[in-house]
Amino acid sequence: MDLIVTAAGDGWQARHGDRSWRAAVGRGGIRVEKAEGDGVSPVGRWPIRTVYYRADRIAKPASPFPTRVIAELDGWCDDPAHADYNRPVTRPFPASHEEMRRQDELYDIVVVLGHNDDPPVPGAGSAIFLHIARPDYAPTEGCAALAKDDLLAFLADAQPGTHLEFRATA
């Protein structure tokens, strides 16, 4: 059973079985066309690779997926010209990258999805994560986001083989 993310009224929702939660997606919405930096959440069904979490802020989430602590120097390369594009890296890092240990709470839980990672194709779009939503569910850079308690509930209910699927229509 997958986590299905679709439009819902004037916003977005994520459904898993008989449960549904308010969600946030990329500022470009959910679309088939995906390019580097467009803020689009890409239509498709993406496997869940790994769950990262901030052990200094939350307990280890219940999850059937590989789970690891976000370390102080963890980053994620988002430079399509670098050999480590769409891969975890250690900071300091010479190329463009995200800091995984953010000051805000958005990455207190980060679920890495298998989008453009096997192998990464430069320019086809950086990594897509499922992470904690802003309180107002403001758009992401292309990721999916849920409230922290909803994300924890999903992870606890998920099974091995669960994917996240972005659908352009319900």
Please confirm whether the linkage preceding 66 is cis (ω < 30° from 0).
no
Domain tally for the chain? 1
* DSSP assignments along 101-137, one per residue: S-SSSTTSEEEEE-SS-SS--TTS----EEEEPPTT-
Query: CA torsion angle for 144, 158, 118, 66 (degrees, to 10)?
Result: 110
- Structure-token pair, residue 80: 């399509």
Residue 155 — left, alpha, or beta (φ > 0 → left; ψ -120 to 50 → alpha)? alpha
pLDDT per residue, tens digit, the chain (170 aa), is 999 999 999 999 999 999 999 999 999 999 998 888 899 999 999 999 999 999 999 999 999 999 999 999 999 999 999 999 999 999 999 999 999 999 999 999 999 999 999 999 998 889 999 999 999 999 999 999 999 999 999 999 999 999 999 999 75
Catalytic machinery residues:
131, 143
Chain position carrying tokens 């000051």: 103
- Structure-token pair, residue 154: 């999903």
Question: pLDDT digits over 5-53, tens only?
Answer: 999 999 999 999 999 999 999 999 999 988 888 999 999 999 999 999 9
Provide the domain limits for residue 27. 3-166
